Amino acid sequence: GPTVQNPDHQKGQLAFEPLKSLAPKAAVTYRIKLKGVAKGRSRFTTSVLTDQFEDPIREEESTTVYADE
């Protein structure tokens, strides 16, 4: 992404500095690469905060991590 990341490994969180501005109809892409640490089902949750909405915008994606055999 275009901003600095601030990882908090103990909480399992990654935060980015806010964008200074975003033009109308513009898009910003953040690519996050994760590595599973144990086999089984897992979820990735993201929250976006904006000054235009009171509540965060949330999205969740689930996946399955398989053991190497």
* Geometric angle at alpha carbon 38, from 37 and 43, rounded to 5°: 85
Between 62 and 35, the more confident residue is 62
CB 47 within 8 Å of CB 14: no
On average, the pLDDT of the chain sits at 85
pLDDT at 59 over 90: yes
Task: Tell me what pLDDT residue 44 has.
Answer: 87
Task: Tell me what pLDDT residue 55 has.
Answer: 95
One-letter amino acid at 8 equals D
